[in-house]
Amino acid sequence: MKIFIDTANLDMIREINSWGILDGVTTNPSLIAKEGTDTPSRVREIAKIVDGPISAEAMALDAESMIAEGRELAEIHPNINVKLPMCIESLKATKVLAAEGIDVNMTLIFSAHQALLAAKAGASYVSPFVGRLDDIGLRGSELIDEIMHIFSNYGIGTEVIAASIRSPSHVLEAAAAGCDIATIPYNILKQMVAHPKTEEGIRKFIEDYCKDKE
């Protein structure tokens, strides 16, 4: 499973990139606003750090404007894909952008119907939101299972990005479902590294080694 980081923070991106595990980056308007910047300039900076797909979300709400904004974002760097929110207008825009060779990441996916339609329109990626489904008492990870199953039935090449990841368990559930990509916040990536028994083991090895030298 490919690992993306879900952030617009450059220090976090640099840090995780240095671990040698990073395949790409997703941003969204909330994450960009948190950094006090704008999408075009931030994704330009990110492309200098990471060699992999970078999602830049368009703010337009009608197909024509989404297409225009999508073209502008895609112009910034060959690794940029255009994130569009799932709706009728974005399906229309996806068809046009995909025909021009521009990758679309259809975001705010909350059902398998939406994922299927996005794939049919030509989206390169769909982003089901696991945590936000859990927030309303549903099982977000079950949606990943369902989409993976449907896409495999028909050999659909659209990649599934497990998004709105809130815990290391969400990452494992995505991997168990055969999900193509998980986009993971910085704090969850740090949690994935840590294990109390590993830390205890390191301390003990050092202690024993130093004792032996006394």
Nearer residue to ligand G3P within complex by CB, 158 or 164: 164
Least Cβ distance, residue 7 to ligand G3P (angstroms): 9
Within 148-207, the residues that bind ligand G3P by CB under 6 A are: 163-164, 183
Within 118-137, the residues that bind ligand G3P by CB under 6 A are: 129, 131-132
Nearer residue to ligand G3P within complex by CB, 6 or 89: 6
Catalytic residue among 2, 34, 48, 83: 83
In the block, residue with structure tokens 């927030």: 135
Long-range Cβ contacts of 84-91 (<8 Å, 24+ apart):
84/57, 84/58, 85/57, 86/110, 86/114, 86/118, 87/61, 89/61, 89/62, 89/63, 90/63, 90/66, 91/117, 91/118, 91/121
47, two tokens: 């492309």
CB 125 within 8 A of CB 104: yes
According to the binding rule CB under 6 A, does residue 69 interact with ligand G3P? no
Helix spans in 56-185 (H): 63-76, 88-99, 112-121, 130-135, 140-154, 168-176
Residue facing ligand G3P at closest CB distance: 164
The DSSP-derived string for 118-154 is HHHHT-SEEEEBHHHHHHTTS-HHHHHHHHHHHHHHH
Catalytic site includes residue 92 = no
Nearer residue to ligand G3P within complex by CB, 30 or 153: 30
- Count of chain residues binding ligand G3P (CB under 6 A): 9
Site pattern 1..40 for ligand G3P (x: CB under 6 A): -----x-------------------x-x------------
Least Cβ distance, residue 158 to ligand G3P (angstroms): 17
Q: Which parts of this chain interact with ligand G3P (CB under 6 A)?
A: 6, 26, 28, 129, 131-132, 163-164, 183
Catalytic residue ranges? 83
